[in-house]
Structure 1
Amino acid sequence: MESCSIPRSSGDSDISSASHSRAPSLPSYLIVQRQMQDVLLVQRAAVEQLVRNNIDVLNESKTSFDKVVSSRDERMRMLEKSITQDYVPKVEYDSLRMEVQENCVPKEDLDTVEKNLEQEYKHRSQTEARLQEAQGKLDAALRQVAALTKQTQEDHLIFHTTCDSLREEILELQARNQDLESRLAEKSWLCEEQKSQIAQQQVEIEALQKKQQNQTVKLKQMVLEANVEKQQEVYLNHLFSGKKNNNKNCL
């Protein structure tokens, strides 16, 4: 049986080239899916081509074998009929025998052809079994691709939903941060304002304390002066009263 190489079909190459040309603009899960589909299509085409070639070889062998057998049977029937009906002359008999030998197939060749035909049928059965197995694997792979595609789409949807939710939360947090920053800036301004007022009040308090100290010193001095004046007045009064008493005693 001749071995045949199975070229890749132009449709498969177009699909592959198209998938590669679109690869840069497609998501990774679609690229993987298309590549798997390309591989599965190539495998399916190879298996189908192999089966077709084997079937063609088997059909040709069977047709040739049937023709040989039919021709041999026909010659044998003619020979038997000729022998049974007529006792042909030896020359004619030898001629017919030579014709039979030339046109018929030896038993060894017939056995070889039958053996080859059986092997071809066996090989065909094995090929059909392998084809069914490959078809089963192909169907399983396609189901797996479909499941992976569905799972990828679900994951893609979940990813986008989660991203949208996170984006909304981030926007809310940014708004809250901006609000807190504005409040913090306002509080910082108020704090600086209060610090300035406290510093000013502190200066005023220190000035008042200094003024109070000065007034206390002045007050103490005034009290001291008043006490001195009072003592002087008492002394003078006492002195004047003593002189008056002395004058009275003299009189």
Structure 2
Amino acid sequence: MTVAQHIQYSHNNKVVHAIKADLGAIVLRNIGATAVVNQPKFGVNGTFFNLTNGQLTGIAMQNGARVHTNGHLNQGPCGTATKRGTMYCYNGGNAISTGVVGAYTETSLSNIKWAIGGYSLFPNVSYANSAAFYTAINGTGDANACTDAKANTQNAYRFSPSINRPRTAIGWDGSKIWLAVFQSENAYEVRQFMINRGCNLAIMLDGGSSSQMKYAVVRNGNPSPVSYDPGNEQRPVYTMVAVEATDWV
């Protein structure tokens, strides 16, 4: 049996919806060009994708197979090779690890169940301040200029401290997976939220208008579906971190 729970928080006086779930409940799904909030499944949006052709620009793998086109690669802006924070569920689905990789195969982990690419939050690393964190994930440069894209880095300048927008993140506290969708936040505060949940591993997934969650609220003993879409856009995305728990509490 696997169990999941929805919890609503206030972080920096802004709404955060979270799902706390057993590791065995997590499955990566291809949902085509549809919105998470319109799915019958519970969970959050997954990794990045190209708006023009729908191909993924972030890793999304399940049981050794690509969830969608190009799901084996983390790709950067303007064709630049990029290594991004990626979460792996390995050892037959019993353990979690993160790494900064460009391709799914850049790991020595064994028996990988799933992998999802995003941007590193490094909750297990101590930084003197937020500026040091942004520097660590390549947080300098013009967020709108391809000329600032740096080969084989996370190109995380797009998450500068001044940019607050809806965010989606996934974390691991050593026992449970945390999925969170933020009303509006910057990367450093997403990191802090995950730290507050006890997560020592966490990455940020696709955000902005892609950020969406479908969760269950238990009423009269039955799980009733509820949606959270910060921008109320019902944006079509291609991948979903699904929570397929046998029980909601």
TM-score bracket for the superposition, by shorter chain length:
under 0.3
- Select the structure of larger CA radius of gyration: 1
Structure 1 or 2: more helix by fraction: 1
Normalising by structure 1, we get a TM-score of 0.17
Normalising by structure 2, we get a TM-score of 0.17
Tell me: higher relative CO, structure 1 or 2? Use CA pairs within 8 A at least 6 residues apart: 2
